[in-house]
Amino acid sequence: MEIRKPAQAGTMESGDVYVTVEPSTAEEPEITLESLVLEQYGHQILQTIRETLEICRVTGVKMTVRDRGALEYAIRSRVETALLRAGEEE
């Protein structure tokens, strides 16, 4: 999937995650993670994000993820939704 435009998904409410994506020229995904539970679960959150990027076959993406204690299924869903929105034709 090619990222064509900036997009976002999610909210900043407790138990959710806010994801923004935009096109990038870098070969590897650029991921910035902010989380209330970064020390405890940061590694697992990043792994979930990377797995979702791999499943969606995304190249050239800059992503910012602001986690507010979301569960894994919510993180996957928000990342996938933002990617799909960013890949749509205008």
Range of the domain at 44: 7-87
Query: Which CATH number covers residue 77?
Result: 3.30.230.10
Domain membership of residue 2 (yes or no) is: no
Three state DSSP letters for 11-38 = CCCCCCEEEEEEECCCCCCEEEEEECCH
Domain count, the chain: 1
**How far is the C-alpha of 16 from the C-alpha of 59, rounded, in Å?**
25
Q: Are strands 61-67 and 17-23 parallel, antiparallel or unpaired?
A: antiparallel
Query: Both tokens of residue 85?
Result: 């929105």
Domain membership of residue 19 (yes or no) is: yes
pTM of the model: 0.93
* pLDDT of res. 47: 98
Q: Write the pLDDT tens digit of every residue in 13-57.
A: 999 999 999 999 998 999 999 999 999 999 999 999 999 999 999
